[in-house]
Chains A and B, each alone.
Chain A
Amino acid sequence: MMDWVLPLICSLILRSGVGLYPYSGERDVPTYGDFEAQRHWMEVTRGKPISEWYTYDVDYWGIDYPPLSAFHAFVTSFLIEAVDPAAVALFESRGYEEEGSRAAMRASVILWDMMVLIPAVFWFLSKRSISDSKKLRTFYYLACAPALLLVDHGHFQYNGVSLGLFVAALSSVISGRDVLGSIFFTLSMNFKHMTLYFLPALACYCLGRSRTRGLRYLAHLTLTILGTTFLIWAFFDVKVVLSRIFPVNRGLFEDKVANVWCSINPAIKLRNIFGKSTLLKLSGACTLVAILPSCFMVWKYPRPEVLVRALSICSLACYLLAYQVHEKQILIPQVAIGMLSEEEPLLAAIFSIFACTSMFPLLKREGQAISYLALLIIHAVFVYTTTIPKQKGRSPGFAIALSGTLIFIALLHLVEVLGPTVPTLPDLYTVMWTTASCAAFCTILLVLYLRLFQAVPRS
């Protein structure tokens, strides 16, 4: 088992460092941002009965994640209240941003990471029979990926819980305990429904397994999933919650996100041509087409290695082509590709970089440009030292590809800093970032597919 002390301490230090930077909506009266949203949920879940959690004043940061997030907010509120009761007082605490409560909120993200994500990652690593250095690298991608740190500990979200539950699900599945895995995955989906991106691949994996394990296995799984879901949703009005977590009315995409629909928008304004329901069907169809081959492969070869590849492809394809995708959802493919890092180190390295650049406009707006830069330097440094020696003598491909990516990114930054501001195109550089990142993601998706077909039938 690898030496876990230093990596753990480093992950703590990096989290604390990123947490020093501003969070989303800091001092941005009257709307604020995700930090205020999370705080508000703690306030609502403590102050209101469970029947009103999803209906109380939904216009001011109403809960738009599944019920487990609501329970999570309820539990976390006790910690915040212990530090500063005024921070979760019903209604009066809106926009509450005192030193103590802010530190407590930041600390709560770290605490949840320590309780859910980190143990799950260690559990996952214990199931992998790979070298210590590869384990260190995988630990880094799963627990300290720059994009994850910037979103969870910078922007402020609790993705670590949902992603940690997903890692736990994978750990169970790898060790053959599919039922346990399905429980964890259901929990993960019920914390943040964006992990639905993983569902097709996982479902096909289980279907593939059922070919040898029989229908009883499938029945087991279905019952477990339904049972777990029922336990969580029992207290709520399903229709209300569904309408909150799947806001179909918000359109094909919101703001600028590094996926296909937003990138082709400057050329083809799809939103002006088609109606919302048509676009929903269109994006659904495209996503389905994109993920089908990988789902088929994992159904045909239901092995963990294939599963991880399929998960990476599915999640990335969903990010690129689904409806109402947010830039922070890049964390979903990040986790899957992080698991894949032991077999595809270069892909993981480059993907992680573009995951950050795809969010750069958002990060810059929030004042996290320096933490973004610092984490990217640490990323480049870490990736070089844990991968480069392997390529020595064989091929300098890795070094060239990584340096090339970094230089390309640096050039884009230069363009943004030195380039002209065009009044008629206020989002010029934002679009530059999202389009470049989208192009990179599409390339990575294709490479992932190629590698899937290359690697799988062999064994």
Chain B
Amino acid sequence: MDEREEEQEEEKELSNPFNSKIIVLLFSVSLKMLFIPAYRSTDFHVHRNWLALTSSFPLEQWYTEETSVWNLDYPPMFAYFEFGLGFIAKWVDDDMLILDSIPYVSGAAIVFQRLTVILFGDLAIFAAVQAHRASAYDLALLLLHPALLIIDNIHFQYNGFVIGTMLLALAWLPDRKTAPLGVALFAIAVNLKQTLLFAAPAVALFVLMSGPILQSAVSFSGVFLGIWLPFIKQTDVLIKRLFPFGRGLLHSYWAPNAWALIASLDIFASTLTGGRPSPSTRGLIGLAEPFVIMPNPSPLVSLCMTIVAMLPALFYLVRDGENQRTKLLVCRPSNQLSREMLHQFH
């Protein structure tokens, strides 16, 4: 009987190959390596451009350089990240770092950039999963998420890296001892991609309720200021780059958010009433007034609506407090529904 039981035990272990996080990580990395030659969007060239920009120009010109149309529109931490990558890039392929409006592509550049997405993204998510003490299954869900695969490893972005950093920061928030560290890391995460600001109200509220307020505030502002210090004189330029309200309410391809619903209603209504045709489906960018029948919201109105949409989630956060997962889960959808200028990616 003992041998039988032993065999059954082994059976359970064997029949699920993915019971180890390292195994999942290795599988994810190698699978993503297979996607290296896949289609790349212009975002690939955008990032190569940023490598060139940060390596060839002094800090002061990073946000003012206009040679290429793909100028820097991520916060400074990401710029430092690209600057760091630039050192390795130089060793891989010198020509990558020439700032040019013409897209440059070489085999080595493609492999290098793809590998940075894979390694930084997967390792960040792995670290976050370790910190949360989640299972290999959770890790697999995150690493092998189809949307992440398509956007990060094919289209080309660094969302895995950014989201992983934020998730790691969130892991450290509940514990009072590590909360300031978590908040510092959150500051870094937000400065990697400004879209993570949606989580700021929830994080702030959470820390106000549970964490050491003074230390957290100090660490957050310290890190934030430290990142922005070299650009202190250019804050207005940066804000304009990071929050391009000039691009309009809807992007050329709509994101599935609340404005998309209203835009559809608007198109329907305008077709019914026979008024002027709605310009929102023409794939244009920069439309401040895409709606024909419905009222066009200004950026401020959209921001207010976003905050209002978040309030119920924040209310529950205050009430239930401890459960972190609730906080994140609830905040994100409400925010995405109403944010201005949303890309499909988010």
Contacts and interface: CB of A to CB of B under 8 A. Distances in A.
A35 to B, nearest CB: 15
Contacts, number: 69
Max count, chain A CB within 10 A of own CB: residue among B26, B34, B36, B111: B34
Contacts of A22: 37
A385 B38 CA distance: 29
B50 to A, nearest CB: 24
Contact of A386 (B17, B33, B34): B17
Given A17-B35, A385-B20, A385-B23, A374 B30 contact: yes
A136 B16 CA distance: 10
Interface in A1-32: 13-14, 17-18, 20-22
Contacts of A381: 17, 23, 26-27, 30
B18 interface: yes
B34 A389 contact: no
Nearest to B9: A389
A370 B29 CA distance: 12
Contact of A385 (B18, B36, B37): B18
B95 to A, nearest CB: 20
A384 B22 CA distance: 12
A223 interface: no
Given A374-B30, A381-B27, A133 B11 contact: yes
A394 to B, nearest CB: 10
A377 B17 contact: no
Contacts of A375: 30, 34
Nearest to B111: A370
Nearest to B8: A131
A378 B27 contact: yes
A100 B241 CA distance: 39
B35 A20 contact: yes
A346 to B, nearest CB: 15
Given A381-B26, A385-B19, A386-B17, A373 B33 contact: yes
Judged by DSSP, the binding face of B is: helix
Max count, chain A CB within 10 A of own CB: residue among B14, B27, B29: B14
Contacts of B36: 20, 370
A136 B26 CA distance: 19
A408 interface: no
Contacts of A371: 33-34
A71 B27 CA distance: 38
Interface string A363-392: 000000011011101101110111101100
A131 B10 CA distance: 11
Contacts of A374: 30-31, 33-34
B30 A378 contact: yes
Interface in A331-380: 370-371, 373-375, 377-378, 380
Interface string B314-334: 000000000000000000000
B34 A17 contact: yes
Max count, chain B CB within 10 A of own CB: residue among A18, A21, A133, A382: A133
Interface string B271-289: 0000000000000000000
B15 interface: yes
B34 A20 contact: yes
Contact of B31 (A370, A378, A384, A386): A378
A21 B37 contact: yes
B34 A377 contact: no
A132 interface: yes
Contacts of A132: 11, 15
B145 to A, nearest CB: 14
A231 to B, nearest CB: 41
B13 interface: yes
A127 B15 CA distance: 19
Contacts of A20: 34-38
Max count, chain A CB within 10 A of own CB: residue among B29, B30, B37: B30
B113 to A, nearest CB: 14
Contacts of B23: 381, 384-385
Nearest to B36: A370
B31 A389 contact: no
A410 to B, nearest CB: 15
Contacts of B37: 20-22
Contact of B14 (A21, A373, A380, A390): A390
Interface in B14-69: 14-15, 17-20, 23, 26-27, 29-31, 33-38
B208 to A, nearest CB: 44
Contacts of A373: 30, 33
A385 B23 CA distance: 8
A136 B27 contact: no
Contacts of A370: 33, 36, 111
A172 to B, nearest CB: 28
Contacts of A136: 15, 17
Nearest to A137: B14
Max count, chain B CB within 10 A of own CB: residue among A14, A20, A381, A390: A381
A48 to B, nearest CB: 35
Nearest to A380: B26
A97 to B, nearest CB: 15
B17 A389 contact: no
A269 to B, nearest CB: 37
B14 A14 contact: no
A31 B138 CA distance: 49
Contacts of A384: 23
A385 B15 CA distance: 9
A393 B308 CA distance: 60
A395 to B, nearest CB: 14
Interface string B224-261: 00000000000000000000000000000000000000
A363 to B, nearest CB: 14
A376 B11 CA distance: 25
A353 B29 CA distance: 19
A131 B4 CA distance: 13
Contacts of A382: 17
Nearest to B19: A385
Contacts of B20: 385
B118 to A, nearest CB: 10
A380 B30 CA distance: 11
Given A132-B15, A377-B26, A381-B26, A389 B33 contact: no
Given A370-B36, A370-B111, A390-B10, A133 B15 contact: yes
A131 B17 contact: no
Contacts of B17: 136, 381-382, 385-386
A193 B33 CA distance: 34
6 contacts: A17-B31, A375-B30, A378-B26, A385-B23, A386-B17, A387-B14
Instruction: List the 5 closest pairs (A to B, CB-CB), nearest first.
Output: A17-B34, A133-B14, A374-B33, A377-B30, A374-B30
